[in-house]
Amino acid sequence: MSVRIGQMTDIHVRDFSGMRLSDWFGKRMTGWVNYQSKRAKEYSAEVVAAGVARLVEERPDLVVVSGDLTNVGLETELVAALRLLAPLREAGVRTVVFPGNHDMYVTAATRGGFERVAADWQIADARGERPYPFVVRAGEVSCVCFNSAIPVPPVLAYGRLGRQQLDDAARLCAAERSLGQTLVFAVHHHATRAPERPAEWMRNLRDVAAFRRLAAEYGAVLVLHGHNHYEHTRRLREAPGVVVSGISSSTTTRTDPPPRRGQIGMYELDGAALLGVGVADWDGARFGQWRWTTPSDIPVESEHESLAGG
Ligand SMILES: [Fe+2]
């Protein structure tokens, strides 16, 4: 029986009402300036609501919201983001969330606030002793959800999973595989490099090589991610059976060529195989029809794109 997984990402919901006086002298201040100068013109809650409505119509088995629900990691923003996503759960569509770098913008945001506010959106079928990774099952597919977000200095946006999380993930992957489950990984930061996106060192996943080894070793058929605000789908050089798919932001009103348009994603799996990667683009008024790609049409990453080393 086929399993469908929908994706929204980088919805960056705005609500600065939770800013405290001290925030105006820290990293959140630079985030606020950045938002006002660039993102306020581009990000729209209407696009997010349209994406939610579309996924409610489609009724996939699972929806993954792959990080960056907020702008500066405020609880007020997270509450507003979950309110926008609520129609999915109200319609009975299982939906999970985990953080992106903007949700762990400052150290204060890493003290469990995200997990407390979003507890109902992180109900797992399996997990270790720590909050991440956690596993959600949809039929014979097990989706392993990671947290790659760490607070970093202003302007930087890199991430790290850490040895502990990778070790916990290996244990969970082995257990799911022994149940006969097919593995999908979900993470915020990218596992392949889109050459069109500059300054990789400022925004990469620092332990991406170990993450890719894990995906290859346990035979994950799909790694879905956000972060880049750029559509990029490739198969790993060292393990071509692993498809890595990143879609653009699900809140942007941009209607320039597809890689940077507002997007939502859909993945179809059957048994131990990925059947197709679907992307729907925002056309200025609605999300259009799915553009489907079959794995055999997805290129293997070039040497230039690969992040396998290290
Ligand atoms: Fe983002």
Q: How far is the CA of 212 from the centre of ligand 1 (A)?
A: 21
Task: Note the pLDDT tens digit of each residue in 248-271.
Answer: 999 999 888 879 999 999 999 998
User: How many whole angstroms separate alpha carbon 200 and alpha carbon 228?
Assistant: 10
Alpha-carbon span 95 to 135, nearest angstrom: 12
230 CA distance to ligand 1 middle (Å): 10
Residue 40 CA to ligand 1 center (angstroms) comes to: 13
Which pLDDT band holds residue 26 (cuts at 50, 70, 90)? confident
Residue by residue, DSSP assigns 133-184 as SEEEEETTEEEEE--------TT---B---HHHHHHHHHHHHHHHHTTPEEE
DSSP 273: E
pLDDT of amino acid 171: 98
| Nearest-angstrom CA–CA distance, 8 and 107 | 25
Question: If phi over 0 gives left and psi between -120 and 50 gives alpha, with beta otherwise, what is residue 155?
Answer: left
Q: 103-112, 137-146, 211-220, 280-289: which has the minimum mean pLDDT?
A: 103-112
Give 232 Cα–ligand 1 centroid separation in angstroms.
15
For the chain, the domains span 2-297
Q: What separation in Å is there between the alpha carbon of 85 and the centre of ligand 1?
A: 17
Taking residues 11-34, report their average pLDDT. 79
- Ligand 1 centre and the CA of 109: distance in Å? 16
Query: Which percentage of the chain shows pLDDT scores above 90?
Result: 77
Least confident of 32-41, 118-127, 289-298: 32-41
Q: How would you class 257 by CB atoms within 10 Å of its CB: exposed for 0-12, middle for 13-18, buried for 19 or more?
A: exposed
C-alpha of residue 33 to centroid of ligand 1, in Å = 16
CA of 264 to the centre of ligand 1 (A): 14
For 258-287, what is the mean pLDDT? 95
Q: In angstroms, what is the span from residue 291 Cα to ligand 1's centroid?
A: 23
Which pLDDT score, from 0 to 100, does residue 310 have?
Answer: 47
Where do we find the tokens 């201040």? 29
For the chain, report the end-to-end CA distance as a whole number of angstroms.
39
Q: Tell me the percentage of the chain whose pLDDT exceeds 70.
A: 98
Top pLDDT among 22 and 178 is at 178
Q: How far, in Å, CA of 45 to CA of 12, rounded?
A: 9
Q: Out of 2.60.40.1180, 3.20.190.10, 3.40.140.80, 3.60.21.10, select the CATH number for domain 2-297.
A: 3.60.21.10
Q: How far is the CA of 164 from the centre of ligand 1 (A)?
A: 25
Q: Which pLDDT value is given to residue 56?
A: 98
Distance 270 CA to ligand 1 centre (A): 30
Report how far ligand 1's centroid is from the alpha carbon of 104 (Å).
Answer: 12
Average pLDDT, integer, range 285-290: 96
Per the prediction, the chain carries an average pLDDT of 93
Q: Does position 223 have pLDDT exceeding 90, yes or no?
A: yes
175 Cα: distance to centroid of ligand 1 (angstroms): 32
Query: What pLDDT does 181 receive?
Result: 97
What's the 174 CA to ligand 1 centre distance in angstroms?
31
The rounded Å distance from CA 157 to ligand 1 centre is: 9
pLDDT for the residue numbered 252: 95
Q: What is the distance in A from the centroid of ligand 1 to the CA of 178?
A: 35
Mean pLDDT of 151-179: 96
CA of 227 to the centre of ligand 1 (A): 5
pLDDT at 142: 98
Q: What tens digit of pLDDT does each residue of 88-120 get?
A: 999 999 999 999 999 998 888 888 999 999 999
Cβ atoms 290, 55 nearer than 8 A: no
Quick check: 309 pLDDT over 70? no
pLDDT at residue 163 greater than cutoff 50: yes
Distance, CA 67 to ligand 1 centroid (Å)? Answer: 7
Banded pLDDT at 28 (limits 50, 70, 90)? confident
CA angle (168 as vertex; 167, 170 as ends), nearest 5: 65
Centre of ligand 1 from the C-alpha of residue 103, in Å: 9
Burial 241-252 (b: 16+ CB within 10 A, else e): bbbbbbbbbbbb
- Is pLDDT at 135 greater than 50 in this prediction? yes
What per-residue string of b and e applies to 125-150 under the rule 16 or more CB within 10 Å gives b? ebbbeebbbbbbbbbbbbbbbbbbbb
pTM for the full predicted model: 0.95
Instruction: Determine the distance separating the centroid of ligand 1 and the alpha carbon of 229, expressed in angstroms.
Output: 6
